[in-house]
Structure 1
Amino acid sequence: MSIIQDFDLGSLDTLLRSFTQRPQALHLDTQLPLVMQSLQQDHLDLLPLPGQGHTLQRWQTLARIAGCDLSLAKLYEGHTDALAILSECSASHRVGQGIWGVWAAESAEARTRIVGREGDTVLLEGRKAWCSGALQIDNALLTAWDSNEQPQLVAIELSHPSQRILAEGWQAVGMATTTSVVMEFDGTPAVAIGAPGQYLSRPGFWHGGGGIAACWYGAAEALADYLREHCRKPRPDPHAEAHLGAVDAALGGARATLRECAAWIDANPGANAELLVRRTRAQIEQAVSQVIQHVGRALGATPFCHNSHFARLSADLPVFLRQSHAERDLAVLGQQLAQVPAGAWQL
């Protein structure tokens, strides 16, 4: 065998480029809807509503689900959030059967519009991005834009033939089984829920944002438990113990923040919780990022490769954590804090 002296990197790049750009196959976990149905049958989806004295219990449940599986948490959180929204908008009679989702993310490339209305019944046209669980749920609440350019919350049934699922663009590895696809509507009937703008203006919008942070926390807590178990082994591992100490400091502060936030919401259910929830989400995100780093460095490649639960959480959590908008959210938090009188940080 002779060695090529004038190696053609251009040909190599061409070959690698086609391999790099190969699409991910759509992956559905058929067990997800079955677990959701079991949770419903046992009434384990009927969580205490936020702001009614048991917000912490609600968030503890979300954290427990997230510590099991984040794709399940995505479906479960969306379903239970939908039930809370329907209650807050005096529309609990719309719940019926099946699994619900909430699709309120907006994209410049995909906008759903209301093109007809008769009473509470509306017709939808356009597209909606980030429709998590569209292949696994039965009903959804989504924001659509009315003729006055106001967001109107509407409820749809996923079985209607006027809807089309566009799944080709879903290329996730982490959180892959949530299949957060694009939905296309062509005269799709829907029911208006609440008044235009109410979805964003209601107190429960920020209560739900705190619930997402509880999911982040629950997944990080589950990863941290693997490190704690590792450090219980009889053979000393001072590096791992140092990582465990850092994890404890991060999670201890995050837990206290979530508990304080839940207590404040219960004491002030009708107040605007935006500032407190934004701060809470920022603190939980920072703590979770630290846990991911410390646990991975302490345990090495073994659990990533040989423990299915650890591997799924480790792949999913960084993606789920990006429901935070990072520095954009921090900038808004900073703007709001700049208007707070001095002394807001005093003990």
Structure 2
Amino acid sequence: MSDMPLARAANDTHHMENVYGGERPAMTLASLEHFLADVRFDANAVTDLGNVLSAITLRGLDRLPLPGQGATLMRWRMLAAVAARDLGLVKLYEGHTDALAILAELRGPVAPRRSRWGTWAAEPPDARVVATASGTGMLRLHGTKAWCSGAQVVSHALVTAWQDDAPVLAAVDLQQPSISISADNWRAVGMHATASGDVCFEGASATQVGGAHDYVTRPGFWQGGAGIAACWYGAACGIANVLREAVIRRADPYALAHLGAVDVALAGAAAVLRETATFIDAHPEGNAMHVALRARLAVENAACVVMTHAGRALGAGPLCRDARLARLMADLPVFLRQSHAERDLAALGKTCIDDPGPAWLL
């Protein structure tokens, strides 16, 4: 990437098409499901995940409806469909589609055709990226960004950085000699294939996206956060479907009871996700923190219920001999830790006090 910034889209009502390279979003869930049913790949290899992501972008199946534009639930259904197929794949797919949504919301540069994006916003205390201005709209990045999912297979990334102690967002072409990638610290078993390593920037050129603080203050921050719950939900459904098929083959009272508990958990989570999507579409510029936290925590709880009952009902056999189920059961607990557990519960409780509203009334 040269010192010239990535091409910026016009400041008009067609920015959604512009950020997708001039094409409208593909809103056909059936097309994505058909692709997922047919595609074959090694789910343990990040290169295979990258190839599948490339195939998805080539077919336009990454052009999801943008959050808050009237079809948020369809966006989440597509995320859930990919998650039910493979969590490593959806980790890359969600990061890519989230980046496209952020570029649209903050009127960032146009994503080059067939580009594959990561969204890297982790801010551990021992890994920080510093940005310095290097021209109009341009930045130079120095430092290490940790937890970079798919770093070895994406072509571009949105990276949070710090400029004069203020948080900024940068769009980076990763094909630069001043950028190096290492997965040496990634020792995970669950989500292993995402190869979420460290990316070191040594004066890499980047384009600033939005202004200082815009990444976290934009409405889409919490809208996107709720979308993560759709990924968790899809994976839980994938596990539940294995349980249901097993019960169909051999139904005993205990297995039926486990399946009933799973149905209750998933139905409740689905209802919360639908309600959250409706709220976001009705209040596209509003603060969705309350409903997003509630959705994430409701789905996290449901996913834990599903894993517990599925494990107890199925026993060790499928966990040892069904590679897809074993991978889902290993991946999902790691992915769920993107939730901050009791910290998120406390934050949700505070919103119940600050703005109680009629949320609990029928």
Q: Is the 8 A contact 1:127 1:182 kept in 2?
A: yes
Tell me the alpha carbon deviations over residues 198-250 of structure 1, each in whole angstroms, 9 at most, x when there is no partner. 110110111111110000000000100111111112x4311111100100000
1:330 equivalent to 2:358? Answer: no
Shift of 1:30: 2.6
1:200 equivalent to 2:213? Answer: no
Distance 2:238 2:45 in 1: 24
Distance 1:288 1:127 in 2: 33
Corresponding residue for 1:19? none
Shift of 1:338: 1.7
Bigger CA drift: 27-36 or 203-212? 27-36
Distance 2:279 2:112 in 1: 29
Quick one: which amino acid aligns to residue 271 of structure 1? G
1:294 equivalent to 2:314? Answer: no
Shift of 1:96: 4.0
Please, what is the CA RMSD of the aligned residues?
1.2
Q: Is the 8 A contact 1:203 1:269 kept in 2?
A: yes
Shift of 1:285: 0.5
Distance 2:233 2:359 in 1: 25
Quick one: which amino acid aligns to residue 121 of structure 1? M
Tell me the alpha carbon deviations over residues 89-125 of structure 1, each in whole angstroms, 9 at most, x when there is no partner. 1125244432001001101000000133311111011
| SS of alignment partner, residue 262 of structure 1 | helix
1:176 equivalent to 2:192? Answer: yes
Structure of larger gyration radius: 1
1:151 equivalent to 2:167? Answer: yes
% identical aligned pairs: 52
Matches within 5 A, 1:135-150: 135-147=152-164, 149-150=165-166
Residues 225 and 90 of structure 1: CA distance in aligned 2, closer, same or farther (over 3 Å): same
Quick one: which amino acid aligns to residue 202 of structure 1? R
Q: Is the 8 A contact 1:99 1:137 kept in 2?
A: yes
Quick one: which amino acid aligns to residue 56 of structure 2? L
Runs of 4+ with deviation above 3 angstroms: 94-97, 341-344
Q: Is the 8 A contact 1:247 1:291 kept in 2?
A: yes
Distance 2:134 2:89 in 1: 35
Q: Is the 8 A contact 1:83 1:95 kept in 2?
A: no
Q: Is the 8 A contact 1:116 1:124 kept in 2?
A: no
Tell me the alpha carbon deviations over residues 266-293 of structure 1, each in whole angstroms, 9 at most, x when there is no partner. 1111111011101111111001111010
Distance 1:303 1:249 in 2: 23
Quick one: which amino acid aligns to residue 96 of structure 2? H
Q: 2:61 aligns with which of 44, 62, 73?
A: 44
Q: Is the 8 A contact 1:123 1:187 kept in 2?
A: yes
Corresponding residue for 1:164? 180
Distance 1:94 1:232 in 2: 46
Q: 1:103 aligns with which of 107, 112, 120?
A: 120
In structure 2, the gaps of 5 or more residues are 1-43
Corresponding residue for 1:18? none
| SS of alignment partner, residue 246 of structure 2 | helix
Residues 260 and 342 of structure 1: CA distance in aligned 2, closer, same or farther (over 3 Å): closer
- Give the number of aligned pairs: 319
Distance 1:341 1:59 in 2: 27
Q: Is the 8 A contact 1:138 1:158 kept in 2?
A: yes
| SS of alignment partner, residue 190 of structure 1 | strand
Shift of 1:342: 6.4
1:67 equivalent to 2:84? Answer: yes
| SS of alignment partner, residue 292 of structure 1 | helix
Shift of 1:196: 0.9
Corresponding residue for 1:262? 277
In structure 1, the gaps of 5 or more residues are 1-26
Shift of 1:141: 0.2
| SS of alignment partner, residue 50 of structure 1 | coil
Distance 1:69 1:344 in 2: 34
Distance 1:112 1:185 in 2: 8
Q: 1:239 aligns with which of 254, 267, 272?
A: 254
| SS of alignment partner, residue 305 of structure 2 | helix
Shift of 1:45: 0.5
